[in-house]
Amino acid sequence: MAIYDYRCLNTAGKSIKGIIDAPSTEAAREKLKARGLYLQTISEVTGRSRGLLRSISFSRRRTATFIMTRQLSFLLGAQIPVINALEGVIDQADDEEVKKMMIDIKEKIKEGKSVSKAFSDYPKYFNQMYVNTVHAGEISGKLDEVFRRLSQMYEKNQALVAKLRSALPYPVLMLCFAFVVILFFVSFIIPTFAQLFADFEQTLPLPTRLLIGTTEVISKGWWAILILLIALFLVLRRFYRSEKGRLYFDRLVLKIPVVKKLVLDTFKIRFSYTMSLMISSGIGIIEALEGTRDIFRNRTFSDTLNRAIDSVKKGEKLSRALSSNPVFNSSILGMIHAGELGDRIPQVLDSIGQNIEVDLTERVETLTSLAEPVIIVVIGLLVGFAILSIMLPIFQINQIFM
């Protein structure tokens, strides 16, 4: 079955466009006619057009995956067949590229592919962990339960990302405000005093000269600074994309004070939730570790899980396999070990994730509250220096006329 782009007029005479799946162009025309639409143009979506999915940003893909998973969880939980559930998701999709993808997945399942195999054709949206979990749900006959758990996990991840992002707007806004104030002083106030002192053949105070000198360097050499920044960005990006550079930056993040703790806690939360989901869905420890490893882009974390996978393959328990890395402290390892003894690893991992998430939320709130006075002090120093640069010439002018 093919996918078609169309442009039509509705009964109100308004032009609308969208996509539709049908076995032929004529069938697509009939479908549109049945909806009360007057066809203007229609064309088949080719393989090249479907490739546009690759251009969608990572954050947009992540949000789309979360929404699709939540919708499938609800529809399958209502005992709706998979094909009908996918059709429901397609009808609710706002993004045309996502809609094309879901139509393609639906058609592949109709042709006899398994759900997990159809999803695996779009790794940008559905990573190996996601596909393996869906596959386990198919084998166990609990596909609705698996999508419910996937939805819960994505919801927790979305909430975690939102908490971390909520700490950023205020500091950035305050620093931008300070920059605007200083720019106003430098652009309109200080040049007036500079000309006045030049007329009186007087030397400006040192703070004023420093501020004016900095301004002149930026105003006259902005193009050179811009070229330098662009060149630096390109070099760093190329270095980051290399194997050695990626590893260097991934390790560097874990050496920055404050940031290190936030990154490590985020890793442990996502690790715990993902492992809990996969193991509770019937996936083995090794496959669960491999699926969990694939969701992390930081090479340090990937290497940590690779070592754990090797240890488990040699016959070691999960708690023992994770003990070789300082990322997991004795408290977490002890809880995992207790879960192994009681055959309750998924429940224990989920509990670990919840506990760390509570601690992380409190830490983010504390850092945010501490950031406010620090930023105010920094802004006060910057603005104070600018005001001092203005006031000192005024005092000197008073002395000239006295």
Query: Are 81 and 124 found together in one domain?
Result: yes
* Radius of gyration, alpha carbons of the chain: 29
Query: Are 348 and 390 found together in one domain?
Result: yes
pLDDT at residue 401, as a whole number: 59
Query: Are 246 and 359 found together in one domain?
Result: yes
Q: What is the pTM of this model?
A: 0.64
Query: Are 128 and 247 found together in one domain?
Result: no
Query: Are 82 and 148 found together in one domain?
Result: yes
**Within a domain: residue 308?**
no
**Within a domain: residue 367?**
yes
Query: Are 241 and 172 found together in one domain?
Result: yes
**Within a domain: residue 292?**
no
What DSSP letter does each residue of 169-217 carry, written as one string? Answer: HHHHHHHHHHHHHHHHIIIIIHHHHHHHHHHTT-PPPHHHHHHHHHHHH
- Per-residue DSSP letter, 328: S
- Residue bearing tokens 């790794």: 123
Among 1-10, 355-364, 392-401, the minimum mean pLDDT is found in 392-401
Query: Are 246 and 371 found together in one domain?
Result: yes
Query: Are 191 and 157 found together in one domain?
Result: no
**Within a domain: residue 319?**
no
**Whether the predicted pLDDT of 400 surpasses 50:** yes
Of the candidates 339, 241, 353, the one whose C-alpha atom is nearest the C-alpha of residue 297 is 241
pLDDT at residue 260, as a whole number: 87
**Within a domain: residue 285?**
no
Residue 120 CA to residue 318 CA, distance in Å, equals 27
Residue 90 CA to residue 75 CA, distance in Å, equals 12
Residue 305 · residue 296 · CB < 8 Å: yes
β-strand partners of 2: 22
Residue 136 · residue 282 · CB < 8 Å: yes
Query: Are 9 and 138 found together in one domain?
Result: no
Percent of the chain clearing pLDDT 90 (strictly above) = 8
Number of domains in the chain: 3
**Within a domain: residue 332?**
yes
User: What are the pLDDT digits (tens) for 8-58?
Assistant: 888 788 887 777 777 778 888 888 888 888 888 888 765 444 444 444 556
| Six token digits for residue 356 | 């760390």
Q: Specify the CATH number for the domain of residue 139.
A: 1.20.81.30
Of the candidates 367, 356, 320, 361, the one whose C-alpha atom is nearest the C-alpha of residue 340 is 320
User: What are the pLDDT digits (tens) for 105-139?
Assistant: 888 888 788 888 999 888 888 887 788 888 878 87
Domain boundary among 108, 140, 165: 165
Q: What range defines the domain where residue 9 resides?
A: 2-45
Query: Are 229 and 347 found together in one domain?
Result: yes
User: What are the pLDDT digits (tens) for 241-292?
Assistant: 888 888 888 888 888 887 888 889 888 988 888 888 888 878 889 988 988 8
**Within a domain: residue 337?**
yes
**Within a domain: residue 133?**
yes
β-strand partners of 41: 7
Q: Which of residues 66 and 59 earns the better pLDDT score?
A: 66
Residue 336 · residue 348 · CB < 8 Å: yes
Domain boundary among 141, 165, 189: 165
Residue 84 CA to residue 80 CA, distance in Å, equals 6
Query: Are 337 and 241 found together in one domain?
Result: yes
Residue 71 CA to residue 41 CA, distance in Å, equals 31
Query: Are 35 and 117 found together in one domain?
Result: no
Q: Specify the CATH number for the domain of residue 12.
A: 3.10.20
